[in-house]
């Protein structure tokens, strides 16, 4: 079922640096009660993409990786960037299409949009 272009929830961007560990991301997700964080460049603060709790739990922890050594950048979805001037189009049900990272003109995260 395709996602609607008009039915979405705006979530806090909750940025985390790409160089942060998976454990740090999971702790932040628990503290913020969220399943998605925006990932930003460790030096510039510009958006790189998003990371999902599911990707961290399945793609890192359950694969036997050390969450204290594995970094968030290795699990970042980068196909989710979107400027405010270019709204997303409806697409097939897929994690990179269900979430979009809304950016300001400088490339910094404003919010995460979750489409239904």
Q: Which residues contact 31 (CB under 8 A, 6 or more apart)?
A: none
Q: What percent of the chain has pLDDT over 70?
A: 80
Q: Which residues contact 68 (CB under 8 A, 6 or more apart)?
A: 21, 22, 23
Beta pairing partners, 65:
none
Residue 37 has what pLDDT?
94
* CATH 1.10.3470.10, applies to 8-115: no
Is the predicted pLDDT of residue 79 greater than 60, yes or no? Answer: yes
Residue 8 has what pLDDT?
78
């Amino acid at each position: 079922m395709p996602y609607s272009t008009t039915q979405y929830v705006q979530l806090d961007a909750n940025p985390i640096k790409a160089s942060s560990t998976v454990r740090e991301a999971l702790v932040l997700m628990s503290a913020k009660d969220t399943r998605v964080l925006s990932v930003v460049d460790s030096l510039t603060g510009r958006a790189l993409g998003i990371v999902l709790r599911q990707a961290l739990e399945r793609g890192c922890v359950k694969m036997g990786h050390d969450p204290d050594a594995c970094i968030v950048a290795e699990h970042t979805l980068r196909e989710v960037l979107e400027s405010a001037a270019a709204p997303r189009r409806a697409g097939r049900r897929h994690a990179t299409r269900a979430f979009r990272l809304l950016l300001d003109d400088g490339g910094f995260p404003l919010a995460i949009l979750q489409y239904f």
